[in-house]
A and B are shown apart, each in its own frame.
Chain A
Amino acid sequence: MDHNASVSIRNLYKIFGANPVAALKRVRAGMSKADLMNEHRHVLGLSDINVEMKAGEITVIMGLSGSGKSTLIRHVNRLIEPTAGEILVNGENILDFGEARLRDLRRRQMSMVFQHFALLPHKTVLDNTGMARAVRGEDRAAYEQDARKWLDRVGLGGQESQYPHQLSGGMQQRVGISRALTSNAPIMLMDEAFSALDPLIRTDMQDLLLELQKELHKTIVFISHDLDEALKLADHLVILKDGIVVQQGEPQEILLNPNDPYIVDFISDINRARVLRVRSVMDTSPAEAPSTAGKVDADDTLESVIALSGGDTALSYEVHRDGAHVGFLNMKKLVRALVPMQAAENGM
């Protein structure tokens, strides 16, 4: 099975309403979401979306409620049909697929994790975990071992014969994740998979996902309305507002160079020291090598460096990655990066 699937979305539009094609013309001519709603009773769900979801990366789509996140992720497996545009999976436009091919794509290439778990209430945890494989026509003997393995991995070993309603929300979502993993599909779609969980369990699940991703390298599309979660998980962050992509890129890059007041607002209350990494603020080629107080790793958070320095802004550190020297970190610059507007004006 192909473990390196990529998804790219090109010029995608989705308009809800009685006559989306006519509405599309107006949107292309520049009509706004609010005007389209007020004057023509059509909802502009998504407008000219272009996103590359690279193989083996976690792409996080973030936005407030109603920004079109769920609509976008449901286009990836065509649970929703677009009004215009292309959706390429491994270079093939899935909009050209017939019913049988689309079904095969959903069965073998993609799996999905849902906000409200969406487990089958009348099936045991084990049967739920094997659902994707059972749908393909495999019998229990074929998937049972895999299902048990993944249930063990997510910490549900021994609960195989329980029913979903006997489990807590966090445990149910672990079943949801092991169901997706047991399907062995290279692409995993997660729509607000952790939003219904309380904060502690949520952090656990995020760690679990990152840990699994380190060995599995799936192509994950993750929806979130929580910036901390998005920054923690994302390799590539897409910020959506009213159906439009306002900015996308490496999360650190967006944090340091927000290009829209909406995003500035969004990032104003996060703990930057915990999110920003040394690599984002280091100097790769300073005019002269400073005297350094020690070594730090390029992927360390600024918070850990502040702790290391004891708050002394006069220091500099040598930055290493995989044992090789990659640059220097000046504490003054580090402190400046912690102030949102300052960072943006300095063009860091």
Chain B
Amino acid sequence: MATYDFIFNGLGLRDWCDQDATTGPMSMADLLAGSGGGQAEKTMLQSLWELPFPSLDALNQACPAISRSRDLTRGLEESFLNVKDPLKVVLDPITQPLSWVLETALQIFTTTPWWVMLPLLLVLVWVASRSWALMGFVATALGFLLFVDHYTFAMQTMSIIFVCAFLCVVFGVPIGIAMSRSDTMQRISIPILDMLQTLPTFVYLIPLIFLFSVTEPKLYGIAIILYAIVPVIRLTDLGIRLVDKDVIEAAEAFGMTRHQKLVRVQIPLALPNIMAGVNQTIMMSLAMVVIASLVSAPGLGVLVLRGIRNLELGVGLMAGLGIVLLAVILDRVTKAALARVNAAASVPRH
């Protein structure tokens, strides 16, 4: 009576289909079909109009030995849960330092008194940008956050970004260099990077939640790093590949080793691109740190979430303003640093 019966009958698989036919839990469609039983025979045309696609569910009706779609999702879940424990044995110790670093940074950023932290941050801004105007802006913005009692939240967010962006650079630049040196490596990496960049962030939060407990900082650390590391890898690779062929040839003609070429020519000439990647990485960490509040990342994102959950409009908007201020600060400071790098390594005239 099911549409695709004829296939299994025709192939002589009927016995195999029915051998352990247990009546598993019924799907909603089954229930509906059951309740409407006893209907008059359909016409030929009607049954053609309602011809189902031979999907797992449709085939299962004809042959119970074939699993249903929901068995597939359950299978996925089960296999993930099966590999989870061995995976944890490996991943846990490797990623544990991330938790420590994040916790320590959080500790340092939030317990250092504001009158120490503020000047320190301003010195950092000066070193990166050499601009009084920018320093003035940063001082005002941070002063405002202090004034409205959002300072601690802002510093929590800041500490997570510092740690994650730093780790992105530490891992991303070498990966980018490896990609620029080997076409195979590039071919393998690009689809992975594309995937990391296009997957909605929530999608890879799901397996991470299963792997690590929600209370561990490394959970959001990993989520942020996976998301934000992409631009620094891409732009390091691109930057090195774009280095003037003539200069590379000169380096070879004068007998540079691969290492000398990398350190004395390729990295310095790719630096503007690498810095542009760092800027994007930092901005993406900031975007992700807000989402990561869903999995217990502290900071301004927590306030935004509270605003959404409790419909506290003012709290949400104020935290949003704080995030905007942080974003502008981080963007301007890294862009100013980038501009200085660009000015120092000006492109040769041709």
Interface pairs (7), CB distance under 8 Å: A110-B253, A111-B253, A120-B247, A121-B247, A121-B269, A121-B345, A169-B349
Are B255 and A114 closer than 8 Å at their CB atoms? no
B260 touches A135 (CB 8 A): yes
Contact B347 A107 (CB under 8 A): no
**Nearest CB in chain B: distance from A4 CB, A:** 21
Docked pose: A139 CA to B249 CA in angstroms: 23
Tell me how far the C-beta of B114 lies from the nearest C-beta in chain A, rounded to whole angstroms.
39
Assess the A132–B348 pair: CB atoms within 8 A.
Answer: no
A165, A172, A189: residue with the most chain B Cβ atoms closer than 10 Å = A165
Asked whether A122 is an interface residue with its Cβ less than 8 Å from the other chain, the reply is yes
Asked if B78 is an interface residue, CB under 8 A from chain A, the answer is no
Interface residue? A266 (CB, 8 A): no
* A114 touching B345, Cβ below 8 Å: no
Cβ–Cβ contact B252 & A165, under 8 A? no
For the complex formed, measure the closest distance between the CB of A120 and the CB atoms of chain B, giving whole angstroms.
7
* CB of A258 within 8 Å of the partner chain: no
Given A118-B246, A118-B247, answer yes or no on A106-B254 (Cβ-Cβ < 8 Å): yes
Within 8 A of A (CB), among B246-282: 246-247, 249-250, 252-257, 260, 264-265, 268-269
Assuming A118-B249, A135-B264, A165-B346, what are 7 further A-B pairs, CB within 8 angstroms? A106-B255, A116-B350, A119-B247, A119-B348, A121-B345, A135-B255, A183-B254
Residues of A within 8 A of B255 (CB): 103-107, 132, 135-136
Any chain A CB within 8 A of the CB of B15? Answer: no
Asked if A334 is at the interface (CB within 8 A of a chain B CB), the reply is no
Chain B residues near A165: list those with CB within 8 A: 346-349
Q: Please state if A79 and B253 are interface contacts (CB–CB under 8 Å).
A: yes
Give the residues in chain B near A135, CB-CB below 8 Å: 254-256, 260, 264
On whether A121 and B346 interact (CB within 8 A), knowing A103-B255, A103-B257, the answer reads yes
Rounded to whole angstroms, the CA-CA distance of A183 and B249 in the bound complex is 17
Q: Is residue B71 contacting chain A, with contact meaning CB distance below 8 A?
A: no
Q: Which residues of A contact B345 (CB under 8 A)?
A: 121-122
> Contacts A103-B257, A135-B260 given: A122-B344 contact, CB under 8 Å?
yes
Measured CA separation A110–B255 after assembly (Å): 9
- Please report which residues of chain A, range 160-203, place their CB below 8 angstroms from some CB of chain B when the two chains form the complex: 163-165, 169, 172, 183, 189
Shortest Cβ gap from B259 to chain A (Å): 11
Partner of A79, one of B252, B260, B264: B252
The yes or no answer to B244 lying at the interface (CB within 8 A) is yes
Say yes or no for A143: interface residue by CB 8 A criterion: no
- Bound together, the chains give a CA A172 to CA B347 distance in angstroms of 13
* Chain A residues whose C-beta falls within 8 Å of the C-beta of B253 in the assembled complex: 77, 79, 106, 110-112, 189
- C-beta contact mask, A106-132 vs B, less than 8 Å → 1, else 0? 110011101011111110000000011
A279–chain B nearest beta-carbon distance, Å: 37
Please, how many residues of chain A have a CB less than 8 angstroms from a CB on the other chain?
A: 29
Interface residues of B (CB under 8 A from A): 244, 246-247, 249-250, 252-257, 260, 264-265, 268-269, 344-350
Output the least CB separation between B138 and chain A (Å). Answer: 28
A118 touches B268 (CB 8 A): no
Q: Report chain A residues within 8 Å CB of B344.
A: 122
Give the top 5 A-B pairs by smallest Cβ distance, nearest first: A106-B255, A107-B255, A118-B250, A118-B246, A112-B253
- Chain A residues with CB under 8 A of B269: 120-122
Complex Cα distance, B260 from A132, in Å, reads 12
In the complex, what's the smallest C-beta–C-beta distance from B240 to chain A, in angstroms?
14
Give the chain A neighbours of B249 by CB distance below 8 A.
Answer: 79, 114, 118
A116-B246 in contact (CB<8A): yes
Complex CA gap A106/B253 in Å reads 6
CA distance A169 to B350 in the complex (A): 8
Known: A106-B253, A131-B254. A117 touches B260 (CB 8 A): no
Contact partner of B246 (CB less than 8 A), chosen from A104, A114, A132, A164, is A114
Are B347 and A112 in touch, CB under 8 angstroms? Answer: no
Contact yes or no, B247 A111, CB < 8 A: no
Who on chain B is nearest to A168 by CB?
B349
**Assembled-state Cα–Cα distance A77/B253 (Å):** 7
Q: Which single residue of chain B is at the shortest CB-CB distance from A180?
A: B254
Q: What is the CA–CA distance of A112 and B265 in the complex, to the nearest angstrom?
A: 17
Closest to A121 in B: B348
Please determine whether A122 and B268 come into contact, CB atoms closer than 8 angstroms. yes
Residues of A within 8 Å of B350, CB to CB, are 116
Residue on A with the closest CB to B256?
Answer: A135
Of the candidates A77, A116, A183, A189, the one having the most CB atoms from chain B within 10 angstroms of its own CB is: A116
Determine the distance from Cα of A114 to Cα of B253 in the docked complex, in whole angstroms: 10
Distance A231 CA – B53 CA, assembled complex (angstroms): 81
Give Cα A165 to B344, complex, Å: 10
Find A163's partner among B246, B254, B268, B346 (CB 8 Å cutoff): B346
Residues of B within 8 A of A117 (CB): 246, 348
Taken together as a complex, chains A and B put the C-alpha atoms of A296 and B253 apart, in Å, by 45
Chain A residues with CB under 8 A of B256: 135
| Cβ-defined contact, B268 with A132, below 8 A | no
Contacts A118-B244, A118-B246, A122-B268: A107 and B348 contacting too (C-beta < 8 A)?
no
| Shortest distance from the beta carbon of B65 to any chain A beta carbon, whole Å | 52
Task: Identify which of A107, A116, A121, A169 contacts B254 (C-beta below 8 A).
Answer: A107
Bound state CA distance, A189 and B255, in angstroms? 14
Name the CB-closest residue of A to B348.
A121
Chain B residue at smallest Cβ distance from A76: B253
Please report the C-alpha to C-alpha distance between residue A132 and residue B265 in the assembled complex, in whole angstroms: 13
Q: Which of B255, B345, B348 has its CB near the most chain A CB atoms (within 10 A)?
A: B255
For A132, the closest partner residue in chain B by CB is B254
CB distance from A139 to the nearest CB of B (A): 14
Q: Distance (Å) between the CB of B268 and the closest chain A CB? A: 5
- Interface hub of B244, B269, B348 (most chain A Cβ within 10 A): B348
Whole-angstrom CA separation of A106 from B348 in the bound complex: 24
Q: Is the CB of B349 within 8 A of A112?
A: no
Nearest to B271 among chain A residues (CB) is: A122
Measured CB to CB, the nearest residue on chain B to A110 is: B253
B145 shortest CB reach to chain A, Å? 38
- Report the nearest B residue to A119, measured CB to CB: B348
Residues in B with CB closer than 8 Å to A106 are 252-255
Which residues of B lie under 8 Å from residue A172 when comparing CB positions? 348-349
CB-based nearest A residue for B260: A135
Closest chain-B Cβ to A183's Cβ sits at a distance in Å of 7
The smallest beta-carbon distance between B262 and chain A, in angstroms, is 13
Q: Chain B residues with Cβ under 8 A from A131's Cβ?
A: 254
